[in-house]
Amino acid sequence: MSAPVLEVADLRVRLETPRGPAHVVDGLDYAVGAGETVAIVGESGSGKSVSVLALLGLLPASATVTGTASFGGRDLLAMSEAELRGVRGNGIGMVFQDPMTSLNPVLSVGRQLTEGLLAHGVVTGRAAARARAADLLADVGLPDPRGALERYPHELSGGMRQRVVIAIALAGEPRLLVADEATTALDVTVQAQIVDLVTRLQAEHGTAVVWITHDLGVVAGIADRVLVMYGGRCVEDGGVDDVFDAPAHPYTRGLLGALPARVDAQRGPGRRAPDLVAIAGTPPPPTELPRGCVFWPRCPVRGDVRCETEQPPLVRVGGTDPRPHRAATFYGREIP
Amino acid sequence: MTDDVLVRARDLQVHFPVRSKGLRRKVVGAVRAVDGVDLEVRRGETLGLVGESGCGKSTLGNALLRLVEPTGGTVEFDGADVTAMSRPALRALRRRAVMVFQDPYASLDPRATVGQTVAEPLQVHGLHPGARARASRVAELLELVGLDASVASRYPHEFSGGQRQRVGIARALAGEPDFVVCDEAIASLDVSVQAQVLNLLRRLQDQLGLTYLFVSHDLAAVRHVSDRIAVMYLGRVVEVGPAEQLAADPQHPYTQALLSAVPVPSPALERARRRTVLAGDVPSAAAVPSGCRFRTRCPHAFDPCPDVDPALQAVGAGQTAACHLHGVVGSREARV
């Protein structure tokens, strides 16, 4: 296998809050190869968004970020702001949740697209930039791309806006695309369009994708590998089939059991659907993470007293060697 | 037959006027949010109401309770015409037909204790008079939804989203209603907490014999809780049927596309599936297409579709769909 496009090691993010320090991300390791999609899954407050904002230098200055993030042989976390600016939108494209807030409402679509193209020196000259911008809009499936250059964000639907955001993200021909809840604000039929679009563009350009979402259905459709986050830590990671077919961590099992679609697959015709397997309680706020295993207060298994005092290591529970299936547990494969 | 229907809408319309700019503010058109809906909710059932944003599903839920004024058609509740009710009659209706709202952060008064919030409907309707009787009823309601009675003295900001939604449900149930409209009641909750609330709603239905209209964009959740499902598109119900039957064998092209767009949390199924990706966006409810309103995006549109507005017709046992593919019969007169 060739070297990964992005390799993150022991990433930690600490934020100072009025309630004390919050360990929002607490030791994260993963790698994304060319053409590969890694999905980071978690509920609100799990640290999934912060973990990628940290890589891109988009956190407030009060945040303390440690670890390494090797991108094209250089450590993103050691870069100056000027160097990072060269990487953002050029080597790494970004798509965020709400296309209305990630686009500037007072600038035309064409202006916002050409701005990046010119700033990163992808093309020279306004005419060339406009031609390239129209190509990009055509590539993301916007009808009448030349006309769309003159439009403003409020004139477009949510799905069309997100296509524009994706066009902007792809303008610098990035090797890595980071999508943070990119389809969450969209209706399912539009979500299907956007997922298809990203999958197609990825296949055409060999882009590596980090897709952050809470939606396990989307993950099943797009990811090669999955990383499940809870309380700032990775509790399980592995190939998408391994994690969905043989979830090892009680939290992953709980998340999958809470999905109506999985439970209802066992529902007979005319029969009432069985109850969902709800996880008791709520996720802890990052300022009040429990000692030991972050999940133990909600855990239905809770093996022994070690859970409350010691942080369980990520151990291999399956998969094959360069790409193992791992879970944070004391019990290895013999998880109760 | 009449007896087992609790709520019946006939040709229900909610049109909002579109006014011109300037001083005269002439009415120049209408947003047809709900545009000729026939719907029955049977006693003791859960009717799921699905559709994408802007399809009118929330407005329909509101109109059934007369929280927005219908501009045409009728709503019957337990045989009485809601659209013709006097104020005292409406007040009595508000005890029997209630709503659980989407956002538990916005729908609870931040300055009222949980106990005050839950007690308010009791005061309004003169139930359980006397402070002591009321307090004991509040305690009973809180325990009914899985909260500790002691939380009555606490304020909403002390609770998580899931707990707040339980408070909202306790308030809705205070007057011992027959009919509960759940308007995106789980949309703002995390997956593991959604499962808790869905299980709670089903338990309460069994315990109290409630009738639900479960309004949601989340098809998997709707399928899980519903006995029957109604699908809305652009102000109109386009298909109704028993939940599993409709999910397994949808007859309206829109239902087919909607279902095929819902991601399934199983990598193997996701790889195997074929999506019907709909082109384009939902037309504006201020400019509804002639004839069949879905025809502009329908992969099967043919001769009669631009001219004849299809009526709901039987397409299976207990299943109806408004589509000419099932024979151009019983077409409803074009509404202007």
Q: Where are the beta strands (DSSP E) in B126-227?
A: 179-183, 211-216
Query: Is a pLDDT exceeding 60 seen at residue B335?
Result: no
Sheet with B5-19, side-by-side order of all strands: B27-42, B5-19, B72-77, B80-81
Rounded to the nearest angstrom, the minimum Cα separation between A254 and chain B is 7
> Strand pairing partners for B319?
B316
Which among A157, A191, A275 has the least Cβ separation from residue B199?
A: A275
Asked if B275 is an interface residue toward chain A (Cβ–Cβ < 8 A), one would say yes
**Any A CB within 8 A of B261 CB:** yes
Helix (H) or strand (E) holding B161: helix B161-173
Mean pLDDT of B69-94: 95
Q: How does B85-104 read in b/e, with b if 16+ C-beta sit within 10 Å?
A: beeeeeeebbbbbbbbbbbb
Instruction: Give the DSSP H/E element, type plus range, for residue B134.
Output: helix B131-144
pLDDT for residue A127: 93
Binary contact (A260, B198; C-beta < 8 A): yes
Q: CB B275 to CB A190 under 8 A?
A: no
The residue ranking higher by pLDDT, A184 or B165, is: B165
Task: Name which of B296, B287, B328 is nearest B310 in CA terms.
Answer: B328
Q: SS3 of B247, please?
A: helix
Inter-chain CB proximity B224 and A187 less than 8 Å: no
- Provide the pairing of β-strand B80-81 with B236-242: unpaired
Write the residue in B224, B265, B275 that is nearest to A192 by C-beta: B275
- The answer to whether the Cβ–Cβ distance between A258 and B265 falls below 8 Å is no
Helical packing angle, B131-144 and B161-173, nearest 10°: 130
Which chain A residue has its CA at the smallest distance from B216's CA?
A187
Name the residue among B223, B269, B277 with its Cβ closest to that of A260.
Answer: B223
Q: Give A21's DSSP letter.
A: E
Whether B296 contacts chain A with CB within 8 A:
no
ipTM at complex level: 0.82
Task: Calculate ∠ Cα B20-B21-B24, nearest 5°.
Answer: 75
Cβ contacts of B3 within 8 Å, gap of 6 or more: none
Q: Min CA distance, B259 vs chain A (Å)?
A: 9
Say yes or no to pLDDT of A336 above 50. no
Q: Given an 8 Å threshold on Cβ–Cβ distance, is B265 in contact with A159? A: no
Question: Domain B2-326, what architecture?
Answer: 3-Layer(aba) Sandwich (3.40)
Residues sharing a CB contact under 8 Å with residue B112, sequence separation 6 or more, in sequence order: B120, B155, B156
Are A244 and B264 inside 8 Å of each other by CB?
Answer: no
Q: Is the pLDDT of residue A36 over 50?
A: yes
pLDDT above 50: residue A115:
yes
Mean pLDDT of B294-313: 93
Are B99 and B50 within 8 A, CB to CB? no
B275 with A254: Cβ contact below 8 A: no
Q: A155 touching B, CB under 8 A?
A: no
**pLDDT value at B97 more than 90:** yes
- CA triplet A188, A191, A195: central angle to 5 degrees? 140
**Beta bridge mates, B64:** none
pLDDT band at B336 (very low <50, low <70, confident <90, very high): very low
Q: What is the pLDDT of residue A193?
A: 85
* Both structure tokens of B103: 């956002």
Q: pLDDT over 90 for what percent of chain A?
A: 57
For residue B202, the chain A residues in CB contact (below 8 A) are 275
Write out residues 37-66 of A within 8 Å (CB-CB) of B. 43-44
CA nearest to A113, candidates A86, A149, A84? A149
Of the residues A44, A163, A189, A295, the best mutation for testing chain B's interface (the one with the most B CB atoms within 10 Å of its CB) is: A189
What type of residue sits at position B19? Answer: R
Whole-angstrom distance, CA of residue A204 vs CA of residue A233: 33
User: Cβ separation of B265 and A196 shorter than 8 Å?
Assistant: no
As separate numbers, helices (DSSP H) first and strands (DSSP E) second, chain A gives 13, 12
Residue A218, CA atoms < 13 Å, CB-side half-sphere: 31
Q: Do A278 and B199 touch (CB under 8 A)?
A: yes
3-state per-residue secondary structure call for chain A: CCCCCEEEEEEEEEEEECCEEEEEEEEEEEEECCCCEEEEECCCCCCHHHHHHHHCCCCCCCCEEEEEEEECCEEHHHCCHHHHHHHECCCEEEECCCHHHHCCCCCCHHHHHHHHHHHCCCCCCHHHHHHHHHHHHHHCCCCCHHHHCCCCHHHCCHHHHHHHHHHHHHCCCCCEEEEECCCCCCCHHHHHHHHHHHHHHHHHHCCEEEEEECCHHHHHHHCCEEEEEECCEEEEEEEHHHHHHCCCCHHHHHHHHCCHHHHHCCCCCCCCCCCCCCCCCCCCCHHHCCCCCCCHHHCCCCCCCHHHHCCCCEEEEEEECCEEEEEECCCHHHCC
Helix (H) or strand (E) holding B249: none
Q: What is the pLDDT of residue B329?
A: 57
The pLDDT score that the predictor gives to residue B1 is: 46
Q: CB atoms < 10 A from the CB of A1, how many?
A: 9
DSSP, res B271: H
A99 or A87: which leads in pLDDT: A87
Contact criterion met (CB < 8 Å) for B265 and A216:
yes
Single-letter amino acid code for the residue at A330: F
Q: Is the pLDDT of residue B331 over 80?
A: no
Tokens of A195: 């997922």
Instruction: Report CA A17 to chain centroid distance, whole Å.
Output: 24
Between chain A and chain B, the number of residue pairs with CB atoms below 8 A apart is 135
Res. A49: pLDDT tops 70: yes
The residues in A 69-128 lying below 8 A from B, measured between CB atoms, are: none
Of A221, A269, A282, nearest to B263 by CB-CB distance is A221
Task: Search chain A and give the residue with CA nearest B197.
Answer: A278
A176: pLDDT confidence band, cut at 50, 70 and 90? Answer: very high
CA dist B259 → A333, B56, B234 (Å): 37, 19, 17
Residue A187 has a pLDDT of: 85
d(CA A23, CA A12): 8
Q: How many CB atoms lie within 10 A of CB B22?
A: 7
Q: Does A263 touch chain B (CB under 8 A)?
A: yes
Q: Which of residues 181-240 of B touch A (CB under 8 A)?
A: 190-196, 198-199, 202, 217, 219-221, 223-225
More confidently predicted of A261 and B72: B72
Six-digit token string for A122: 């992808």
**What CATH class does A6-223 carry?**
alpha beta
Residues of A in contact with B161 (CB under 8 A): 282
Q: Name every chain B residue with its beta carbon within 8 A of the beta carbon of A159.
A: 281
How far is residue B12's CA from residue B75's CA, in Å, rounded to a whole number? Answer: 7
pLDDT, tens digit, for every residue of B11-34? 999 999 988 888 888 888 899 999
Which region among A227-241, A263-277, B154-168 has the lowest average model confidence (pLDDT)? A263-277
From A192, A259, A263, residue closest to B277, measured CB to CB = A192
Question: Which B residues in the span 30-59 are in contact with A, Cβ-Cβ below 8 Å?
Answer: 52-53
Q: How far apart are CA B135 and CA B131, in angstroms?
A: 6
Q: Express each pLDDT in A204-221 by its tens digit.
A: 999 999 999 999 999 999
A318 - beta bridge partners?
Answer: A325
Q: Pick from B157, B160, B191 the residue to mutate for testing the A interface (most A CBs within 10 Å).
A: B191
Say yes or no to pLDDT of A333 above 70.
no
CB distance B166 to B138 below 8 Å: no
**φ and ψ at A315, to 5 degrees?**
-120, 155
User: How far apart are alpha carbons A160 and A251 in whole angstroms?
Assistant: 36
What does the pLDDT read at residue A266?
Answer: 67
Site from B190, B196, B228, B269 to mutate, A interface, most A CB atoms within 10 angstroms: B190
Would the CB atoms of A196 and B277 count as touching at under 8 Å?
yes
Place of tokens 């990009």: A136
Domain map (residue ranges) of chain A? 6-223, 233-334
- H/E run at residue B255: helix B253-261
- Residues 201-240 in A contacting B (C-alpha not used; CB under 8 Å): 214-221, 223, 240
Per the document, the length of chain A is 336
Given pLDDT bands bounded at 50, 70 and 90, which one contains residue B3?
low
